[in-house]
């Protein structure tokens, strides 16, 4: 190719110069780049991985709270065959009604009435989970009495309370 015509030199210089981008085009490009960066950051935890993590979290949380609930309310998690029969007996000759009220029946005076079995002897047999039990007798709906055969706990709320420990059945 021959040398360029010197008359074309000014036009060539203009063609070699980088064209100036328009400001709105630059802004669109920057926004597109930012959006792409955000998408890339979101992709660190893909939807399937997030779902798996959530399911695992649900399972762990459920197991933790179930264990805590069972620890807090052990009698609810006790199988029937693990329960022990406990007989409550009170001598109350002139009583018209006697009930045993304690941790095992949510301190409900109506839940466990005793029946008169002899001359002034009242009794009831209750199935309880082995462990600590706090209770008291309620005579005629007004008079609280401790169990004379058990350990007296600290007198709480100005009324007596007994505490007993039910021995778990021995392993065979």
Partner 1 sequence: MSVRIITGLALVCALGLTFGPRHALAQDPRLHKRLDPETAAAVAALVDSASTLGLPAEPLVQKALEGQSKGASGDAIVRAVRELIRDLATARDALGDDVGVDALLLAAAALDAGATPAQLERLRPHRSRESFAGGLAGLVYLMSRGVPAEQSLDLIAAMLNARLSAAEFASLQRLVERDMMAGTPPAEAAASRAQALIRHGRSGGFGDRVRP
For partner 1, the binding residue among 83, 124, 131, 145 (CB under 8 A) is 131
For partner 1, the binding residue among 7, 19, 39, 71 (CB under 8 A) is 71
- Is there binding between residue 55 and partner 1 (CB under 8 A)? yes
Q: Please report, to the nearest 10 degrees, the dihedral formed by the alpha carbons of residues 133, 138, 142, 144 taken in order.
A: -60
Closest contact distance (angstroms) between CB of 127 and partner 1 is 17
Helix ranges, 43-101 (H): 47-72
- Is there binding between residue 77 and partner 1 (CB under 8 A)? no
Answer for the pair 135, 100: CB distance below 8 angstroms, yes or no: yes
Answer for the pair 140, 108: CB distance below 8 angstroms, yes or no: no
- Is there binding between residue 167 and partner 1 (CB under 8 A)? yes
**Whole-angstrom distance, CA of residue 107 vs CA of residue 104:** 7
Residue 127 neighbours by CB under 8 Å, 6+ apart = 80, 83, 84, 85, 86
Closest contact distance (angstroms) between CB of 64 and partner 1 is 8
Which of these ranges, 16-24, 49-57, 89-97, 120-128, lies near partner 1 under the rule CB under 8 A? Answer: 49-57
For partner 1, the binding residue among 32, 51, 67, 125 (CB under 8 A) is 51
Q: Please report, to the nearest 10 degrees, the dihedral formed by the alpha carbons of residues 10, 14, 15, 18 taken in order.
A: 160
User: What residues line the site for partner 1 (CB under 8 A)?
Assistant: 47-48, 50-51, 54-55, 57-58, 61-62, 65, 68-69, 71-74, 101, 103, 106-109, 131-132, 134, 144, 151-154, 156-159, 161, 163-165, 167-168, 170
């Amino acid at each position: 190719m021959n040398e360029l015509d010197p008359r074309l030199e000014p036009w060539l210089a203009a063609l070699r110069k980088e064209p100036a981008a328009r400001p709105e085009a630059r802004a669109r490009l920057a926004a597109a780049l930012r959006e792409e960066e955000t998408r890339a950051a979101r992709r660190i935890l893909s939807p399937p991985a997030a779902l798996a993590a959530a399911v695992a979290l649900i399972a762990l949380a459920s197991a933790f709270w179930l264990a805590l609930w069972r620890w807090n309310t052990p009698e609810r998690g006790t199988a029937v065959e693990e329960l022990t029969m406990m007989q409550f007996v009170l001598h109350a000759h002139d009583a018209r009604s006697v009930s045993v009220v304690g941790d095992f029946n949510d301190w409900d005076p109506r839940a466990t009435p005793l029946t008169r079995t002899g001359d002034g002897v009242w009794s009831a047999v209750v199935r309880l989970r082995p462990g600590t039990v706090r209770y008291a007798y309620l005579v005629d709906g007004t008079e609280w009495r401790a169990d004379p055969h058990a350990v007296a706990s600290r007198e709480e709320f100005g009324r007596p309370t007994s505490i007993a420990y039910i021995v778990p059945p021995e392993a065979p």
